[in-house]
Structure 1
Amino acid sequence: MNKFRVRLTLIFILLIGSSVLVAGIFVAKKMQDSYIDSLQDNMARELQMILVTMDWHRDGTEAEQMRYYTELAAKLKLSANARATFIRADGKVLGDSDFRAQDMENHATREEIVQAAQAGVGYATRFSSTLNQNMLYAAVPVKIDGKLIAYLRLAMSLEDVERSIRQVWYGLISGLFLVFVLAGLISYRVAYGITRPIELITRVAQQITDMNYKYRVTLNNKDEIGQLGHAINRMADSLQLQMKRISEDENRLKSVLEHMSSGVVMIDHEGKIVLLNRSAEEILGFSSQELLGKPFDQAKQPFEFTQMIQECIDIREHIRDEMIFYYPTERMLEINLNPVWQQNEDWAGVLIVLHDITAMRRLERMRSEFVANVSHELKTPIAAVKGFAETLLAGALQDKDTARSFLQIIFDESERLNRLIGDILELSKIESKRIPLHFSPVHVQTFVTNGLHVMNTEAKKKSIELEMQVPEDIYIEADEDRLRQILINLLSNGINYTPEGGKVKVKVEQIASGAEGAELDKVRFTISDTGIGIPKKDLPRIFERFYRVDKARSRSSGGTGLGLSIVKHLVELHKGTIRVESEVGAGTKFMIELPVIQ
């Protein structure tokens, strides 16, 4: 921890010193730039004044011109306190205040000259080889009648600027040294205040790591370090609770595994059974005590199952198959074998998941039977239509009474076929949940009255009395069209299977779904008749598709055998229930319970 304290102190010193150093460099740079900008402005003004006051129409030989401009440059240096240079347009130096013009090289490519030719004034800062010091140069072009004839250049030493910058650096270094000393003292104190609590926290954390939970951090700090100490204390307080929760989670996972409907078997890399849940015990017919720790090929399982496990171990790829197990009972199982790998990609074994799909296959058989029933039901009216049509084509058209009778039969069978197809399509949509329900408030008394009015004509044909017992203040939230379909189907059944002079009654009442005294939150519809009734052996199957108690009677009445199945599915879509009570010769009673609010 002492090393950490020293490192922290050094970091503080470096941060503070670096900040001061960067600030000093920035200030020095700004001062230098400001000084040079000011010199450039002054030099530009002086150059413009010289251009205006001088006579540039000087003739003579080159030697005479060089002598003239050299003398003039010397006078300008005295007045401007700057080195003056006259340069011909081609770069030839004609005169210089500080150096022999004859010995100076061509200045056409000098930075300030090139810039002056392009922009009207040019500046450059560089080391002068003739004067052995850094100089600031400023040049302007000399033009007569728009023609460039020469350049005038002034140069000033940057020694004063550099002297000022050096003074700034001396002050900066002195201040920096003082800052380092103060920063060192302050940083060490700050580092000590930070690391000392951390040392205490580290000791307590080590004790907690050694499972010694009685140690606590004693700190009065209210900063982040103090909060860390309190967090360590809370961690020690809650560690036992966390361990308890971990144990509970482990037990919960075991519980989930044990209560899974699918069987789970784990085989390790040595081929031994190491995990077996309760569903797997029931499916395989052996307890975990009998199988755990045993090699899978000695677990008394079907040969095909053992071969499948061996194949998964050999190829180490996922395998899925279906197999019939005859022990302890006959079942159809879907078997999924998945190779298991550890994090370091070492082979760990095989995970086997067993799904009992016996019920699924039974449903598939029911689906096949449904298709067969549909084919049979469709074939019957089609055969009748075809037979009577052939009879008519064979000559029965000549007998008008016979032809009319046959055509009526063809029409009736076509109507029956149309109803059958419509009911099949309706049932298919309902079962696949492809019909959205549009719920709205329904006044039950008005709704039942309208339903009885629709069926009144059919009832009168058989002199059947329609009766209702519905309180006026009952409302229900439902899809009115689908609720009407339920009511009409049940009323139609009651009328069809009730002898002449009988009675069909609709009774509606509100009931409570829970214990005694609970709020009335359900509505019960009871549709009863005085018909022929249903035998007890047929009651469990009356809601199956195409199931008929009296097939001859159903066909003669034009029923499709799908009405009650449609009713059951529509009731379930309303989150309701339907049940039936019946006695042969005494009548049938359907009871539907629907929630008031969806």
Structure 2
Amino acid sequence: MKRTFIAYNLVLILLVIIAFLGITFSLTNYVSKRQTASMLEVMLDDTVISYNLSELSDADFVKNFESSKRRISIIDEAGNTIADSMMISTSGNQLSYPELMTLGKPYSRYSESLKLNLMYIAQTAENGKYVRVAVVMDEYIKFSEQTVLLLVIISITIVGIAFFMLKKTSNLFLKPIKDVSTSIKTVKDGDYQWILPNSDYEEINGLYREINQINEQIVNQIKTLELRDEELKLLLSHMQQGILVIGSDQSIILSNEKSRNLLKLKVNSEIIEIRHKELYQTIAKATQVDTNVDQKLLIDQRHLTIKITSVNHRILIKDKNPYGVLVILVDETERILLENNKRDFFANVSHELKTPLTAIKGSAELIHYDMVSKTDEKILSKDIIYQVETMNSLIQDMLELSRLETRPKLELEVINLKSLLELVLEQLQSTAISKSIKIAFETEDMQIKGVISDFRSLFKNLIENAIKYNVDGGMIDIKLYKKDAIYFVVKDTGIGIPKDQTDRIFERFYQVNKTRSKLQNGTGLGLSIVKHVVSYYKGSITVLSELGVGTTFTVMIPT
């Protein structure tokens, strides 16, 4: 703006100076010629009077003017030059020149014989001849040129002075604009700086004060809007529901992360990117027709309850459609899975308890009604004890699983894993001996911070399964070592697990061979307990198995 201001004013000054020079030159030239013409008229009158009174010959008459700055020529009636004060021989008919064609009127022209610019004027003498007077104009032209040069120099000087004056003036008058521009930029950045009203002009100081007040109000409004925006983002980001606000042009105006994750949408997308056809069609229809519906849909294996409501509000109206749309998505997958798990859990528990209770009832009734011998009573009593132990194991595993799922706050302690493993092996030694199973183990002395019952359950269930589902006289190889993490490996020579069932063995109550599990007093909860422990400590468990060869469980716990 500063350059434009200076350039504009300089161009204006130059145009004024050029106009001034043109007018001045024209006036000077006109006045100069006019003065010369008037002087020539006087000279002509004097010369004609002198010629009429003179008794000298024409040649002698013109000699009187040889030392003067004027040229005097005597021309006869035929147009021939009889005498010339500059003694220049002129040929040709002089009557063709304008000064002789129009007597008494001065004319300027270039003389080929003298190679000079002259002004001529002529008049008829009493004897019928023509008396012509001329003066040289070169001096006047040179004077005009010098005058113009001087005016140009003065004009350049004026332009230079004007440039510096304009620059100073522009700095003075454009500074308020620059200050205002700087303050507006700070307003945009949210860090407004006041403009000090220190100008020499009270009008500008008043402008500064007004701008300061306006900018302060704008900054306060910006901060309020930013705070509201942060509050809205905080609210949306922590909502358990997904939110979509859709304009009438089907563009997504507002969305939270929950809704984008559920529908696989990007920020600032459109509903056409919704891949579920039924949901897309319902939302599109809601922009055209007043709608208030609830939908239950399965999208990407997630159970969603979706409320779609048409909203007629000016901020949502983007085109010819009359409605914007508010979409609320509730992910009920966990609730449904929990209900299914509860239902399955109670069904499985009821089934698992029903078998031993039926056996206990049957045996007890036979004993009660004296329907068996003393020898059979002992057998039935032993079966009752076995069934009670089965139920007790089931209840203990259920309680342990419940503890792992609810995770009550327990104080962590430093656990010596080697000592704990040796204790578990000692407790299971008798079971292994009963099946003639040999156990080989390699351990390192290591410690971890955790809940001791977690690692006791981890060791017990994996080793107990290796014993239960092993063949008589089989082998179990156990390793506990530490590298980048803690590794616990249990390898057996048991019956193995079919490959299509290895992903399901960690489910509650799932048993590969239910008949064998019943014989081994299995509950189907052991590996589920192991999985919960490993997940809690952010570890992993892998299974390698081959039917008739054996199974290897590898647990990794990060340190």
- Which TM-score applies when normalising by structure 1? 0.48
In the TM superposition, what whole-angstrom CA distance separates every residue of 1:105-154 from its partner, at most 9, and x where no partner exists?
Answer: xxxxxxxxxxxxxxxxxxxxxxxxxxxxxxxxxxxxxxxxxxxxxxxxxx
State the AA in 2 paired with 1:396. M
Aligned match for 2:495, one of 521, 525, 532: 532
User: Deviation at 1:551?
Assistant: 0.4
In the alignment, which residue of structure 2 is the partner of 1:300?
281
Matched, 1:578 2:554: no
Gaps of 5+ in 1: 1-199, 221-228, 313-318, 513-521
User: Deviation at 1:389?
Assistant: 1.9
In the alignment, which residue of structure 2 is the partner of 1:275?
252
Aligned match for 2:423, one of 450, 456, 469: 450
In the alignment, which residue of structure 2 is the partner of 1:42?
none
User: Deviation at 1:356?
Assistant: 4.4
In the TM superposition, what whole-angstrom CA distance separates every residue of 1:296-351 from its partner, at most 9, and x where no partner exists?
Answer: x9963299x969x9464xxxxxx8x55236xx88864212457979899x999652
Residues 264 and 275 in structure 1, CA contact (< 8 A), matched pair in contact too: no
Residues 575 and 594 in structure 1, CA contact (< 8 A), matched pair in contact too: yes
Secondary structure at the aligned position of 1:463 is classed as: coil
| Percent of paired sites with the same residue | 32
Aligned match for 1:370, one of 338, 345, 349: 345
For 2:476 and 2:273, locate their aligned partners in 1 and report how far apart those are by CA, in whole Å. Answer: 63
Aligned match for 2:405, one of 431, 434, 456: 431
In the TM superposition, what whole-angstrom CA distance separates every residue of 1:270-305 from its partner, at most 9, and x where no partner exists?
Answer: x6644276567669xxx827499xxxx9963299x9
- Distance of aligned partners of 1:324 and 1:481 in 2 relative to their CA distance in 1, 3 Å threshold: closer
For 1:291 and 1:536, locate their aligned partners in 2 and report how far apart those are by CA, in whole Å. Answer: 39
In the alignment, which residue of structure 2 is the partner of 1:41?
none
In the TM superposition, 1:510-525 aligns within 5 A as 510-512=482-484, 522-525=485-488
Matched, 1:414 2:388: yes
For 1:589 and 1:553, locate their aligned partners in 2 and report how far apart those are by CA, in whole Å. Answer: 19
In the alignment, which residue of structure 2 is the partner of 1:587?
550
Residues 396 and 402 in structure 1, CA contact (< 8 A), matched pair in contact too: no
In the TM superposition, 1:186-585 aligns within 5 A as 206-208=180-182, 264-267=243-246, 273-275=250-252, 288=270, 290=272, 300-301=281-282, 310=290, 312=292, 321=294, 323-324=296-297, 332-336=303-307, 350-358=325-333, 360-397=335-372, 399-434=373-408, 436-472=409-445, 474-512=446-484, 522-585=485-548
- Distance of aligned partners of 1:267 and 1:450 in 2 relative to their CA distance in 1, 3 Å threshold: closer
The CA RMSD over aligned residues, in Å, is 4.8
Residues 290 and 323 in structure 2, CA contact (< 8 A), matched pair in contact too: no
For 1:578 and 1:503, locate their aligned partners in 2 and report how far apart those are by CA, in whole Å. Answer: 21
For 2:533 and 2:301, locate their aligned partners in 1 and report how far apart those are by CA, in whole Å. Answer: 35
User: Deviation at 1:492?
Assistant: 0.8
In the alignment, which residue of structure 1 is the partner of 2:4?
none
Residues 290 and 310 in structure 2, CA contact (< 8 A), matched pair in contact too: no
In the TM superposition, what whole-angstrom CA distance separates every residue of 1:254-283 from its partner, at most 9, and x where no partner exists?
Answer: xx99xx997543245xx6644276567669
- Distance of aligned partners of 1:440 and 1:331 in 2 relative to their CA distance in 1, 3 Å threshold: closer
User: Deviation at 1:204?
Assistant: 5.9
In the TM superposition, what whole-angstrom CA distance separates every residue of 1:81-111 from its partner, at most 9, and x where no partner exists?
Answer: xxxxxxxxxxxxxxxxxxxxxxxxxxxxxxx
User: Deviation at 1:523?
Assistant: 0.8
In the TM superposition, 1:51-62 aligns within 5 A as none
Gaps of 5+ in 2: 1-173, 188-192, 199-208
In the TM superposition, what whole-angstrom CA distance separates every residue of 1:522-573 from its partner, at most 9, and x where no partner exists?
Answer: 2111111111111111100111000000100000010111111111112222
State the AA in 2 paired with 1:485. S
Residues 291 and 308 in structure 2, CA contact (< 8 A), matched pair in contact too: no
- Distance of aligned partners of 1:505 and 1:264 in 2 relative to their CA distance in 1, 3 Å threshold: same
For 1:503 and 1:378, locate their aligned partners in 2 and report how far apart those are by CA, in whole Å. Answer: 32
